[in-house]
A and B are shown apart, each in its own frame.
Chain A
């Protein structure tokens, strides 16, 4: 079990520059290094979406629709827009699947990742090393390959006695996404725990808390605060990554878009359709990204 005096701790806020009293580079350099270390822990760069991105995306959509209208000239004016409107319910179904996949994968990945992350700071070398290895393994594997792996190896149905549990392909894809999420959450949790200043647990122990109480009542709640912004950022990245499921044929939004293109057989519909899809994703990811930025500012040290 975890002994509190052996949790490795690194001071949370920026450590003072070592080696000299007169800095040789601007503080900006340290900020760059710190941000890189954070990015390395959170598994992707921060999504910084602003309202103007949505505006430009919308303008691009209008522009491409206009170009497409001009090229086709068939079906009367606003053919492109009316076609997109006609297909929107189907696209909405596909988008729902993207969101469900991202939600489920995030839940599964967070639960397993937290356990893995706590295991990484365990005192038993076998547990610590195995969990470290598993984390690094799934962090270094491409998301697409992991998804293929799960898709092809998990059977399409499970039989327990008389009960048959079908595993449709979107559930398999969800499991495939939860693996890299698990690895990234594990790193976040480990980093979060290790970043709590040692003064915290010393103060708690001096108040006669047991080791277990120190861990669960003092360290974990603070970790949650620190981990929340990168965790939300991970969710935004995951949502955007769910389009990978289209490669294995899951009927999510991009696959639906391809089917629509096939049905309509109008190549100039492609760019308006894709910008339309991007607008939907933006509408979903933008509030998440803004909330993440807000949380980061709130929790900034």
Chain B
């Protein structure tokens, strides 16, 4: 493995092409840690946006008009405004109204840190789309199928668990897939509030080592690979869960 990295040092010595992120262990670790942060953001956002989607779709079908209006307002607001502005509004705007507390070092730390804000803002933004996706999936399950399940004696919970949710999930999987890919692609925006993810780490490395073209190339390849791997995985999932005989 060492020989692999060392080859890049040789490359630098011979040709001047400086992949310092690869041959220098310090840079390597820094970049790997940043890559991990990117993946972390993606995973957290995917998880929370799914939760928001499920919760939101439950609220949409609730009996209380207030809840229905609230969720509708949320969807329309977060769907139609740019994500960056949402992030700024939450990170700079809302956090200014939140209390601060003494974190023990004498500084007044904000209640919600930048990393949390990023995840919240992204999850809220994509959650608006996810609620719509889940809703379209659930609405595509025919009433009669649900009646047939109940006529067989299943309780309401069993109907949801065994029939409605598995079906709705399979129906909306392509649309959900699209949404999830946007989430993974969009993690790079965390740079805007100074999160130490891949773009930020690349920035730091090339500022010190003056190897902008090489760094940017590595960064681009890493991002595209990450997204492509995720896309391939989701496509595989879609194919595996496909219901035979149905759909295009």
Contacts and interface: CB of A to CB of B under 8 A. Distances in A.
Complex A–B touching at CB under 8 A? yes
Interface of A: 15, 17-20, 24-26, 28-37, 39-40, 44-45, 47-49, 53, 56, 136-137, 140-146, 148-149, 152-153, 240-241, 243-244, 246-247, 254, 267-268, 270-271, 274, 277-278, 281-282
B178 interface: yes
Given A29-B246, A247-B84, A278-B85, 6 more contacts: A45-B129, A136-B228, A140-B228, A141-B227, A244-B189, A254-B84
B159 interface: no
B139 A28 contact: yes
A148 to B, nearest CB: 7
Given A140-B227, A274-B85, A26 B199 contact: no
15 contacts: A24-B245, A26-B141, A28-B136, A29-B140, A29-B141, A29-B247, A33-B175, A137-B224, A143-B185, A146-B220, A152-B216, A153-B213, A241-B82, A247-B192, A278-B81
B127 interface: no
Given A19-B245, A148-B199, A153 B212 contact: yes
B175 A32 contact: yes
Q: Give the top 3 A-B pairs by smallest Cβ distance, nearest first.
A: A19-B245, A36-B174, A29-B140
Interface string B59-95: 0000000000000010011011110110011001100
B117 to A, nearest CB: 14
A240 B82 contact: yes
B93 A271 contact: yes
B31 interface: no
B43 interface: no
Contacts of B79: 45, 48
B105 to A, nearest CB: 23
Contact of B88 (A53, A149, A274): A274
Given A32-B171, A149-B216, A47 B199 contact: no
A47 B82 CA distance: 11
B93 A274 contact: yes
B133 to A, nearest CB: 8
Contacts of B15: none
A240 B83 CA distance: 9
A261 B247 CA distance: 53
B246 A145 contact: no
A142 B82 contact: no
A56 B76 contact: yes
A243 B177 contact: no
Contacts of A20: 245
B244 interface: yes
A7 B105 CA distance: 68
Contacts of B81: 240, 278
A145 B219 contact: yes
Contacts of A153: 212-213, 216
B231 interface: yes
B142 interface: yes
Contacts of A32: 136-137, 140, 171-172, 174-175
Interface string B213-232: 10010011001100110010
A140 B245 contact: no
A267 B96 contact: yes
Nearest to A278: B81
A135 to B, nearest CB: 12
Interface in B33-49: none
